[in-house]
Chain A
Amino acid sequence: MLEPLFFLALAVLTPGVPSLQPPPLALHVDAIIQPDGAIGPGGWIVLRNGRIESIGPAEPPVGCARLEFAGGVAAPGFVDVDTSLGAAGQLSEPARPFTPEVATGDALEPDHSSFLAAARSGVTTVGLMPGGRNIIDGRVAIVRTADDDGRGAQLCGHGPLRYTLSAQAFDGSRVPTSRMGALPQLREMLAKSPAPSSGTSLVAADTADEIRIVIDTFGGAGRSFALLHPTRADDAIELVRGSVSGRPTAAVIGPFDLDTGERDVRVAKLLADGGVAVAFSGGGDGGSLRLTAAVATRSGFDAKAARTGLSLAGARLLGIESEAGTIEAGKRADLVVLDGDPLDLAAKVKLVLVGGAPVEAAKESP
């Protein structure tokens, strides 16, 4: 196992030959996670120039570097929408309540060590989320956890706007101090500014009534929107499922750990059962992300939806589903190979590729 990896690392990373086009790489695994989250049959995955060239049972073309993983399962690289990885300083601008012009990419520190840790644990793309103290917080930065050389992180675009309608946006220190004061202004802004052609608005709402207000306000304005951490969505589940004036397309849930209350976990399941795509968040840590999915699954969350919740759902929220989120020909080669189902905590990560480049293997413990 280790030897081909070394070979691969040498082939790809040898600093002396940066200009050389790396040879195509073929990975053989026993199972591949399908776009719908099912565990599909394995085969060869051929990667060329940082992209997935082909997937199938056929022998890879001659000249490929070949890596075979007995018992390996290939999953799309994990996408974690809600992180503050590599943030240099605060990600909130609390002086004013409406800051649509803020973009977290401006606070990104690409060399931050947290990116390597994230990449090692299988997370290949993260959203750098604005702070959550403003009614309009700013724009999410989309960051790949490794650049083409596999060394630092790379900002690769701006994602959706984040809004906050939960209590933390109203602390009494600035006008408006209340939802009552904020909503007329927000409605006016939404009415005046054109809806973005693609992507979705991320709105933090906690209680059932906050969720109702989001549905009324954003749905009413014809916006596509997703809910950030709607912890009490169970109380409003009829509204979330229904289509009074628009419904959330997705929800970001997590992280869960052993202490997470049953009720919070149940909310994830209710949302998914209600047709809302759930993207898990582990705060940028792949282990936490998988624990989140595992806890949800153990509580009855559908396994296929849980697997898409690790990658595709997040990619869609960031508007990068054409590039990432699934293992499909033409997409970027963001891959995780494990020795089992990523939902199973017992499964170990064997290889992580970001844009075709292998992430430095996790240090062997002494």
Chain B
Amino acid sequence: MVLSSHLASALLAAVAALGDSAAIRGGTIVNPDGTRIDKGVVVIQGGKITAVGGPETAIPPDAVVHEADGKIVFPGMVLAHTQISLDVANENVPVAPFVNVYDAIEPNSAEFEDCLRGAIGTVHVIQGHNTVIGGLSRIVRPAGDMVDYMTVRPDYALKLSITPRGGFNRMTQMAELRAAFANLANHIESVAERRFEEEKKKKDEKVLILPEEAVKQGMALVTIDDLDARWRTLWRASKGEIPLFVHCDRAMDVMHGIEWLKELKLLEKSVFVVGTEAFKAVEALKTAGRPVILSGVLVHKESDPLTGKVTETFVPKVFADAGVPFVLQPNGFGFSADGMLWYQAARCVREGIARDVALKAVTQAAADSIGMGDTLGSLAVGKWGNVAILSGDPLDQATFVDRMLIEGRLAYERANDRRLKELSTGQDLPPAAATAPASSSKN
């Protein structure tokens, strides 16, 4: 992780030709919790924020200074669950813990460009819902042209789905899930027994012990090297070494999921990625106390079978009212109607959710859900220097991202966003007329 992070830094540095220290000066610093600093200064050194303060804050002499007069300085948003840049979201194998988005992320995807335009500094790419056990995910920066350089956290989490994948029913889905872990247990037992015997042989001792006892004693001897790639991920997940992103489309799936994860003693490692109807299980989710990532569709519609009358529920409001932190995802991607993360936050405010709760849902809560709450999600000393310099308030629809810094390095400049110019004017600009956004190194 550390290695790839440094590699990424190297690349960004090469592209942006910037030094290690940066400062943003003159803008209004806005944090999701509502705190503001006018004419504030953010200092970033070695990728991390070393100072946040008023105009008097000292700026290191070697820092590249980004003037932000009249601008809003806001933490980079976090996209906590997405399939962007994957050509296909799901492998067509129900239990596939051995696949890895590492092999599929397209660094040149224009969707990463959209992330920067949308103030997103961190992206958790994970496979889709149509699975029983999906593959490993990866947390990346939306900038760079090799996955390794973009990587923030490799092989981060495992995707599971309680909701039946296509063609399955809920019984078969749960049966497959149970079978996968039961198969794993069987396999580990056989490995343990073998390892025990090997160990004995090594010492030239006899195996004078019942098989069950051999399994028990051999368990401690099993290491990851005894397993091949087919088993490693699931084994690590079963031991709680990998977070689980658990898809529960319906409320009933939440209930079944919580129950099953408790049995496996993995509830504490789970993040719930829920559908709209899951709001009915809000109390159970609250009790579980695990992060909840909402679907991009924020409104649940249900028609009364007796009257046909359609009831609409604004899902985030239910979670907000229940005091359950939630994380927002865009619906679709790009700035179609609701494809931007901040638009989703604005919709929450529109429906009466407190501004700080809505903003946290795209920053701090999102960072928490991918285990990076101490690293991302707000502008604070010690956190990473992911900073969006905005032309206005993050929830105002006229706001554009003016500049985007990732770990202190300039990753995007609106002034150089040729694509945005083309879209605005409808003109195909000749290649020379504008330089590509700093992040984009594709042709």
Contacts and interface: CB of A to CB of B under 8 A. Distances in A.
A binds B: yes
Interface of A: 232, 234-235, 261-263, 266
Nearest to A266: B306
13 contacts: A232-B308, A234-B307, A234-B308, A235-B308, A261-B305, A262-B305, A262-B306, A263-B305, A263-B306, A263-B307, A263-B308, A266-B306, A266-B307
Given A261-B305, A266-B306, A266-B307, 9 more contacts: A232-B308, A234-B307, A234-B308, A235-B308, A262-B305, A263-B305, A263-B306, A263-B307, A263-B308
A212 B369 CA distance: 52
Nearest to B303: A263
A206 to B, nearest CB: 13
Contacts of B308: 232, 234-235, 263
B305 to A, nearest CB: 6
Contacts of B306: 262-263, 266
A235 B303 CA distance: 13
Sorted nearest first, the 8 A-B pairs with minimum C-beta distance are A262-B306, A263-B306, A263-B308, A262-B305, A263-B305, A266-B306, A261-B305, A235-B308
Interface in B282-312: 305-308
Contacts of A234: 307-308
Contacts of A263: 305-308
Contacts of B305: 261-263
Nearest to B306: A262
A235 B307 CA distance: 8
A263 B306 CA distance: 4
A232 B307 CA distance: 10
Interface string B9-45: 0000000000000000000000000000000000000
A262 B307 CA distance: 9
A234 B303 CA distance: 14
Contacts of B307: 234, 263, 266
A262 B308 CA distance: 10
B308 to A, nearest CB: 6
Contacts of A261: 305
Contacts of A262: 305-306
Contacts of A235: 308
A263 B305 CA distance: 6
A258 B306 CA distance: 15
A263 B307 CA distance: 6
A99 B150 CA distance: 72
A235 B310 CA distance: 12
A235 B306 CA distance: 12
A266 B304 CA distance: 13
A124 B183 CA distance: 67
A145 B27 CA distance: 90
B303 to A, nearest CB: 9
Contacts of A266: 306-307
Contacts of A232: 308
B309 to A, nearest CB: 9
Nearest to A261: B305
A266 B306 CA distance: 7
Interface in B302-349: 305-308
A232 B308 CA distance: 9
A295 to B, nearest CB: 14
A263 B310 CA distance: 13
A262 B305 CA distance: 7
A239 to B, nearest CB: 16
A172 to B, nearest CB: 27
A232 B303 CA distance: 14
A274 to B, nearest CB: 15
A228 B307 CA distance: 20
B307 to A, nearest CB: 7
A152 B307 CA distance: 44
A234 B306 CA distance: 10
Nearest to B304: A263
A261 B308 CA distance: 11
A226 B94 CA distance: 55
A261 B307 CA distance: 11
A235 B305 CA distance: 13
A105 B107 CA distance: 74
Nearest to A265: B306
Interface string B357-399: 0000000000000000000000000000000000000000000
A232 B305 CA distance: 12
A17 B44 CA distance: 116
B2 to A, nearest CB: 61
Nearest to A262: B306
A250 B308 CA distance: 23
A300 to B, nearest CB: 12
B306 to A, nearest CB: 5
A37 B307 CA distance: 28
Interface string B170-197: 0000000000000000000000000000
Nearest to B308: A263
B150 to A, nearest CB: 52
B229 to A, nearest CB: 51
A237 to B, nearest CB: 11
A252 to B, nearest CB: 21
Interface string B77-102: 00000000000000000000000000
A231 to B, nearest CB: 10
B225 to A, nearest CB: 59
A261 B303 CA distance: 13
A97 B329 CA distance: 51
A53 to B, nearest CB: 48
A263 B308 CA distance: 7
A235 B304 CA distance: 13
A198 to B, nearest CB: 36
A291 B306 CA distance: 20
A350 B175 CA distance: 55
B280 to A, nearest CB: 21
Q: For A232, A261, A263, which residue has the most chain B Cβ atoms within 10 angstroms? A: A263
